[in-house]
């Protein structure tokens, strides 16, 4: 009896071994090709060989509709290769499936946002990005993308709101950018003709960041539009005080207004005050020389520009200003000499840059010494 039991036990064990072998063997033969094909697709993606990867991913999906990652990557490749509507169809279809986990859902939604951005459907992209926050409230990718999409859609109040959120999570601050966004909000009112309302917004921008020059500039512009030239001058002066390096932007309109108002002394003082903060500034000196010329004081203008050329011998702006004065003094031959010098500068090569690798050299070349490219296109510096 014992012998029969032993034989039966051995037979049962042998039978179980065969059954397990068939099960695991069958699984191996089914999963191995899939795994291998997916690996091939990934390798093709890494190599930038997108079309073969698309074919392989489609083959995987045809055999196994539960391979979510294959679907996601297929959608990405369709977007990369310009098949944007097909990419949206793949990613959108995945969102209706019940067999995706949270991580996969977020990945699909991020890619769907990218799909719509590429389609230039930023409004739809924004709505998808907002739904990401329903899944994960503090998703930084979504918050940043929402911020940038509101910015691109010129929804400045909302853009500011989400920018502040992102900066708060990062424990950062950017008052200048917040002020610039507020200025953009004011510009929408300014462009519609609501100049008073625009100024109220510009003042808020100044409170956010008094060092941001943009609101001062547009405050002056709004007063010009309302023909309140005295107020415009006040804000131009403030603009120059806050940003002396950008003061040249308002030289011409300021000088014209002050000339019209008969405030010649204020023009000179304005330029001299800038030069106190930015000594030797080429644009300011040439503007001041132009002022002296318009007043008829050619001697003072010439002295300024001649000194400027001595300290800035390569400045084209200084040379052109000097030519202007020489013309006013009827010194034609000297004008010709200065213009020839300017033409020579633009007609000769001082430095060139290889546009293939960016290497800069001091002479023309036909083979780049760094990247070895033959006949590189050269940009004159």
pLDDT tens track for 321-360: 767 767 766 676 666 666 666 555 554 445 667 777 777 7
- Strands of the sheet containing 378-380, edge to edge, are 360-361, 352-354, 378-380
Tell which wins on pLDDT, 282 or 362: 282
Task: Clarify whether residues 318 and 343 are in a common domain.
Answer: yes
Q: Is residue 89 part of a domain?
A: no
Task: Clarify whether residues 331 and 362 are in a common domain.
Answer: no
Least confident piece of the model among 98-112, 139-153, 314-328, 357-371: 357-371
Task: Clarify whether residues 364 and 329 are in a common domain.
Answer: no
Task: Clarify whether residues 337 and 303 are in a common domain.
Answer: yes
Q: Is residue 67 part of a domain?
A: no
pLDDT value at 11 more than 60: no
Looking at the chain, the whole-number percentage of residues with pLDDT higher than 70 is 78
Beta strands in the chain (DSSP E): 352-354, 360-361, 378-380
pLDDT score, position 23: 47
Domain housing 306: 295-348
* Closest-CA residue to 179 (of 164, 166, 196): 164
pTM (2 d.p.): 0.70
pLDDT score, position 369: 65
**For residues 347-374, average pLDDT:** 63
> CA triplet 24, 29, 35: central angle to 5 degrees?
110
Task: Clarify whether residues 330 and 302 are in a common domain.
Answer: yes
Q: Is residue 75 part of a domain?
A: no
- DSSP helix/strand/coil, 115: helix
Write out the two tokens for 51.
Answer: 């079309």
Residue 231 CA to residue 217 CA, distance in Å, equals 12
Q: Is residue 8 part of a domain?
A: no
Write out the two tokens for 279.
Answer: 């000594």
Tell which wins on pLDDT, 125 or 29: 125
pLDDT value at 251 more than 60: yes
pLDDT value at 205 more than 50: yes
Count of domains observed in the chain: 2
Least confident piece of the model among 17-21, 168-172, 217-221, 322-326: 17-21
**For residues 84-112, average pLDDT:** 94
pLDDT value at 363 more than 70: no
Q: Is residue 337 part of a domain?
A: yes
Confidence of residue 307 (pLDDT cuts 50, 70, 90): confident
pLDDT value at 281 more than 50: yes
pLDDT score, position 107: 95
pLDDT score, position 319: 74
pLDDT value at 83 more than 50: yes
Confidence of residue 294 (pLDDT cuts 50, 70, 90): confident
Please answer whether residues 350 and 323 qualify as being in contact, where contact means their C-beta atoms are separated by less than 8 angstroms: no
Q: Is residue 366 part of a domain?
A: yes
> CA triplet 68, 69, 70: central angle to 5 degrees?
90
Residue 267 CA to residue 269 CA, distance in Å, equals 6
pLDDT score, position 31: 39
Task: Clarify whether residues 334 and 358 are in a common domain.
Answer: no
Residues in the chain: 381
pLDDT value at 373 more than 70: no
Beta strands in 244-359 (DSSP E): 352-354
Q: Is residue 58 part of a domain?
A: no
Least confident piece of the model among 44-48, 264-268, 326-330: 326-330
**For residues 19-28, average pLDDT:** 47
Q: Is residue 332 part of a domain?
A: yes
Task: Clarify whether residues 377 and 341 are in a common domain.
Answer: no
């Amino acid at each position: 009896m014992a012998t029969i039991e032993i034989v039966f036990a051995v037979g049962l064990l042998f039978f179980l071994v065969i059954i397990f072998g068939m099960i695991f063997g069958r699984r191996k033969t089914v999963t191995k090709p899939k795994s291998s094909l997916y690996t091939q697709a990934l390798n093709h993606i890494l190599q930038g060989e997108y079309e073969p990867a698309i074919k392989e991913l489609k083959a995987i999906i045809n055999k196994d509709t539960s391979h979510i990652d294959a679907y996601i990557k297929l959608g990405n490749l369709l977007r990369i290769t310009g098949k944007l509507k097909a990419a949206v169809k793949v990613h959108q279809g995945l969102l209706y499936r019940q067999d995706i986990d949270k991580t996969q859902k977020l990945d699909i939604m991020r890619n769907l946002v990218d799909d719509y951005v590429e389609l230039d459907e930023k409004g739809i992209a924004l709505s998808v990005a907002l739904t990401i926050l329903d899944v994960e409230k503090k998703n930084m990718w979504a918050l940043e993308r929402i911020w940038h999409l509101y910015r691109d859609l010129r929804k400045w109040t909302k853009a500011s709101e989400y920018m502040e959120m992102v900066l708060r999570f990062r424990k950062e601050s950017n008052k200048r950018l917040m002020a610039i966004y507020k200025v953009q909000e004011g510009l929408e009112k300014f462009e519609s003709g609501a100049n008073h309302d625009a100024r109220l917004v510009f003042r808020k921008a100044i409170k956010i960041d008094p060092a941001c020059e943009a609101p001062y500039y547009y405050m002056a512009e709004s007063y010009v539009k309302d023909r309140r030239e005295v107020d415009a001058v006040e804000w131009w002066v403030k603009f120059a005080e806050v940003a002396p390096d950008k003061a040249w932007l308002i030289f011409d309109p300021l000088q014209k207004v002050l000339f019209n108002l008969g405030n010649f002394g204020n023009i000179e003082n304005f330029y001299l005050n800038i030069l106190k903060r930015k000594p030797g500034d080429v644009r300011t000196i040439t503007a001041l020389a132009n002022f002296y010329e318009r007043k008829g004081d050619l001697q003072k203008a010439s002295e300024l520009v001649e000194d400027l050329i001595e300290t800035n011998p390569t400045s084209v702006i200084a040379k052109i200003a000097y030519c202007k004065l020489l013309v006013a003094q009827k010194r034609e031959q000297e004008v010709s000499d200065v213009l020839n010098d300017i033409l020579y500068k633009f007609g000769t090569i001082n430095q060139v840059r290889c546009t293939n690798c960016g290497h800069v050299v001091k002479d023309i070349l036909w083979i780049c010494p760094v990247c070895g490219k033959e006949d590189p296109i050269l940009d004159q510096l």
